[in-house]
Amino acid sequence: MRTYGVRDWGAGYFGINEAGHMVVMPEKDARRQIDLYEVLEGLRDREISTPVIIRFRDLLKHRLTEIRDAFDSAIRDHAYQGAYACIYPVKVNQQRQLCEEVRDIGSQLGFGLEAGSKPELLAVLGLTENLPTMPIVCNGFKDSEFIETVILATKLGRHIIPVVERFSDLELLVKHAKRYNVRPRIGVRAKPSARGSGRWESSGGMRSKFGLTVIELLHALEFLKQHGMADCLTMIHFHIGSQIGDIRHIKSAVNELAHIYCELKKLGAGLDTIDVGGGMGIDYDGSQSDSPSSVNYGVPEYAADIVYRVKSVCDAAGLPHPRILSESGRAMVAHSSLLIMDVLGKTHFPTDPDLDNVRALMQTENERPQPILELIDAYEALSQPRVNIVEVYHDAVQARDEAMSLFNLGYLSLSMRSATERLFWAVGRKALTLAQAKGELPDDLIDLPQILSDIYYVNFSLFQSLPDHWAIDQLFPICPIHRLHEEPGRRAILADITCDSDGQVDKFIDKKSSHKPVLELHDLKYTGNGELKPEPYYLGVFLLGAYQEVLGDLHNLYGDTHVVHVSFDDSPGVGDWDLDEVIEGDTVKEVLSYVQYDSEDLVRSMRRDVERAVKGGTLSVPEAQNLLKFYDSGMEGYTYLE
């Protein structure tokens, strides 16, 4: 449990049971657990293979309720007179099944949805059928058609708030509102001077891409007044970035926004809502710090600070408390899904120097290359008391480099080179073990854990399933979902199955430093007599619910993974969980069609070639049949290794 920091990043939703399996506690209640390994076995029985995303509806519900409760208690504690609603920006994950769950749970909690583009708007309007009070916020770039749709949706009775991001949005809004005789609720996005921090810092501040400067805000209010529509300006909004690690940035930005709200209200705007945007972060590494993968606050503190800031500024200005909206997409859904993937195999570097063999080799070849003798000395020196580990390691690096030069000049045989590498790894391993036992690693040895680590090959595509790790170094908790009572004896990096050297994970969460270069894993167990096969070994990647699914790409044509929805099952019967939904991943045929291939055309051309080979005698008829069968069924199969 401590190795992987489950308690730190798990937020009460994850734990380890007596069988050493990872469990999910969707309601943070240890009596109601779902054993992930059991779920996986159940999926295997149903022929749903890994990699697979598992979403937990009950966990989603708990998380949304937690946000609701945090704001409710902040409202109570501060005697705040306004209401609160959390708005789910569908861009965080637009998958229909998830959005429907957020909508269903959210409608009971008074929450809403946000759309940031035309397709998202159309999806959100369809999703909110018969929910006229559910708030819908529309951010992002808008054209005339977008705005006309919003105006007509207002006429339909929807609680929809188009947010003006550029002045031209306002002109179109006024034009269509007049044309259809509608009094829309208009929001404006302000460019506060306060900025967030970290990766999304540029989303806020004066030079941010979106929003109106204070000069433009005043101009916008004047423009609305000229058209007799100042009362339609009901909401002020901002967004200073995602994953804001330090609560101080949120406090100062909300403070500034509340002042802008009060000033505009005093000038005659019909404001009644403040939207503080997204940014509530997730403690991915469990360090509770302001590091890029963590946050130094929790949901209750976030809620209390926002409510308190808005209240104090409005009280000082003698204005009623507005409704507060937050667009906390990441905070709503991140915990609710995870990815499980299987390890296909591993490579490791030999760390036993095999000195007898090296000496025998020197005798056979009748050569005693100086660098090899020095490497043997270095290895033996590490057994001396009070050895200077760094100095010995430097000598070993020098000897290895010299051996490589000799090899490149043709003075060292391949066997001698192999002995050199073996000796060098052995020196490195021994130096590392000794240095680690002494405490912190000296700078010159800092890369050794990674250099000496194993490579575990894992059945997934980093680009499809963890795009933020690839693009912005976002860390996610990763750990085995079973064998958790066994000491993990190996240190490894993870390589995916794409043909891209970037397709690997070599940064892992670490509570004590920004990250660690290797992950502690268990040695693979092998079964079988003649042909040895590794026993299944599964890794989970957690807190994956926000952004990853939709940002993923088709590198090497690895498509969407399978997704299953699992919920807690109280009824008697086998297992404590129900499989509510299975969304099959992309087939090969589907990913090929995304890049304009017609699978039938491909099958036809393959058939023609096979027939030619049969005629020419290169393939027998049964061989030809087998090849075509494989080709045909491959088209319908999963894009990952099965």
Q: Render the burial of 42-81: b for 16+ CB within 10 Å, e for the rest.
A: bbeeeebbbbbbbbbbbbbbbbbebbbebbbebbeebebe
Question: By three-state DSSP, how is residue 179 classified?
Answer: helix
CB closer to ligand PLP out of 163 and 432:
163
Question: By three-state DSSP, how is residue 21 classified?
Answer: coil
278 binds ligand PLP (CB under 6 A): yes
Given candidates 327, 342, 402, 510, which one binds ligand PLP under the rule CB under 6 A? 327
Find the shortest distance in angstroms from Cβ 188 to ligand PLP. 13
279 binds ligand PLP (CB under 6 A): yes
**Residue number closest to ligand PLP, CB atom:** 278
| Cβ neighbourhood burial of 364 (10 Å; 0-12, 13-18, 19+) | exposed
Supply the angle between the helices 118-127 and 96-109 in degrees, to the nearest 10.
60
Q: Interface with ligand PLP by CB under 6 A: which range of 323-331, 412-420, 437-445, 578-586?
A: 323-331
DSSP string, 184-213: --EEEEB--S----GGGGGGSSTT-SSSB-
CA 406-408-409 angle, to 5 degrees, is 65
Question: By three-state DSSP, how is residue 308 classified?
Answer: helix
Find the shortest distance in angstroms from Cβ 255 to ligand PLP. 19
274 binds ligand PLP (CB under 6 A): no
273 binds ligand PLP (CB under 6 A): no
330 binds ligand PLP (CB under 6 A): yes
- Distance between CA atoms of residues 578 and 565, nearest Å: 8
242 binds ligand PLP (CB under 6 A): yes
**By the 8 A CB rule, do 349 and 463 touch?**
no
Q: Interface with ligand PLP by CB under 6 A: which range of 214-222, 321-329, 367-375, 482-490?
A: 321-329
Q: Interface with ligand PLP by CB under 6 A: which range of 322-330, 407-415, 417-425, 607-615?
A: 322-330
269 binds ligand PLP (CB under 6 A): no
| Other beta carbons less than 10 A from residue 409's beta carbon | 8
Find the shortest distance in angstroms from Cβ 184 to ligand PLP. 19
Find the shortest distance in angstroms from Cβ 332 to ligand PLP. 8
Given candidates 128, 328, 461, 504, which one binds ligand PLP under the rule CB under 6 A? 328
CB closer to ligand PLP out of 435 and 546:
546
294 binds ligand PLP (CB under 6 A): no
The structure tokens listed for 340 are 């499980």
The structure tokens listed for 414 are 């391949």
Find the shortest distance in angstroms from Cβ 282 to ligand PLP. 9
Residues forming a β-bridge with 136: 113, 160
Q: Interface with ligand PLP by CB under 6 A: which range of 278-286, 313-321, 373-381, 415-423?
A: 278-286
The structure tokens listed for 83 are 């209401």
Find the shortest distance in angstroms from Cβ 545 to ligand PLP. 10
CB closer to ligand PLP out of 85 and 484:
85
CB closer to ligand PLP out of 239 and 311:
239
Q: Interface with ligand PLP by CB under 6 A: which range of 67-75, 100-108, 275-283, 298-306?
A: 275-283
| Cβ neighbourhood burial of 617 (10 Å; 0-12, 13-18, 19+) | exposed
DSSP string, 380-412: HHTTSTT--HHHHHHHHHHHHHHHHHHHHTT-S
CB closer to ligand PLP out of 40 and 98:
98
Q: Interface with ligand PLP by CB under 6 A: which range of 67-75, 328-336, 430-438, 477-485?
A: 328-336
Hey, which residues between 532 and 561 contact ligand PLP (CB under 6 A)?
Answer: 546
Q: Interface with ligand PLP by CB under 6 A: which range of 19-27, 60-68, 103-111, 276-284?
A: 276-284
The dihedral built from the CA positions of residue 292, 293, 295 and 300, taken in this order, carries a sign that is positive
| Other beta carbons less than 10 A from residue 317's beta carbon | 14
Residues forming a β-bridge with 86: 326
User: Residue 66: which residues within 8 A CB-CB, separation 6 or more?
Assistant: 299
Find the shortest distance in angstroms from Cβ 210 to ligand PLP. 7
* Region label for 265, one of left (φ > 0), alpha (ψ between -120 and 50) or beta (otherwise): alpha
Given candidates 10, 15, 51, 89, which one binds ligand PLP under the rule CB under 6 A? 89
Given candidates 211, 277, 428, 477, which one binds ligand PLP under the rule CB under 6 A? 277
- Helix (H) and strand (E) counts in the chain: 22, 23
Q: Render the burial of 334-347: b for 16+ CB within 10 Å, e for the rest.
A: bbbbbbbbbbbebe
Q: Interface with ligand PLP by CB under 6 A: which range of 34-42, 292-300, 324-332, 616-624?
A: 324-332
CB closer to ligand PLP out of 36 and 86:
86
**By the 8 A CB rule, do 205 and 150 touch?**
no
Determine the distance from the C-alpha atom of residue 129 to the mean position of all C-alpha atoms in its chain, rounded to a whole number.
31
Find the shortest distance in angstroms from Cβ 113 to ligand PLP. 12
Question: By three-state DSSP, how is residue 565 classified?
Answer: strand
Find the shortest distance in angstroms from Cβ 108 to ligand PLP. 21
| Residue 489-528 contact track with ligand PLP, rule CB under 6 A, x = bound | ----------------------------------------
DSSP state letter for 523: P
161 binds ligand PLP (CB under 6 A): no
CB closer to ligand PLP out of 106 and 329:
329
- Distance between CA atoms of residues 65 and 355, nearest Å: 63
Q: Interface with ligand PLP by CB under 6 A: which range of 152-160, 273-281, 305-313, 621-629?
A: 273-281
CB closer to ligand PLP out of 187 and 477:
187
**By the 8 A CB rule, do 333 and 98 touch?**
yes
Count CA atoms closer than 13 A to 98's CA, side-chain side.
30
CB closer to ligand PLP out of 279 and 292:
279
Find the shortest distance in angstroms from Cβ 67 to ligand PLP. 11
| Residue 131-150 contact track with ligand PLP, rule CB under 6 A, x = bound | --------x-----------
Residue entry with tokens 């369809």: 126
CB closer to ligand PLP out of 8 and 327:
327
Kindly determine how many residues on this chain lie close enough to bind ligand PLP according to the rule CB under 6 A.
Answer: 16
CB closer to ligand PLP out of 294 and 504:
294
Kind of pairing between the strands at 519-521 and 526-527: unpaired
92 binds ligand PLP (CB under 6 A): yes
Find the shortest distance in angstroms from Cβ 555 to ligand PLP. 23
**Residues at the site binding ligand PLP, with contacts judged by CB under 6 A:** 89, 92, 139, 239, 242-243, 277-280, 327-331, 546
